[in-house]
Amino acid sequence: MTQHTKTTSPDMLYLSSRPALPVLAEAAVAFAVLITKWTVRQRTRRALAALSQEQLDDVGLSRAEAHYQATLPFWRP
């Protein structure tokens, strides 16, 4: 059995030695992450709606399934 040694990069050491973010900064980061998720969902769903039937066949979706997913609001996972 081999033994794995844990190596930590200097970047990770720097990040782990930093104090926690203030509450307002954590809220701002959480908000930014949420907006990013919503943007990705919206872009992905728009692209899904534009796929041809051959492309939908390649990913294993019917036109009805693709339409359903493409019409979901961006805030719904």
Output the pTM of the full model: 0.67
pLDDT at 14: 75
pLDDT band at 10, cuts 50/70/90? confident
18: DSSP letter = S
Residue 41 domain flag: no
User: Distance between CA 10 and CA 67 in Å, rounded?
Assistant: 47
| pLDDT tens sequence across 28-76 | 999 999 999 999 999 999 999 999 999 999 999 999 999 999 999 999 9
Number of domains in the chain: 1
Residue 19 domain flag: no
77 lies in which domain range?
49-77
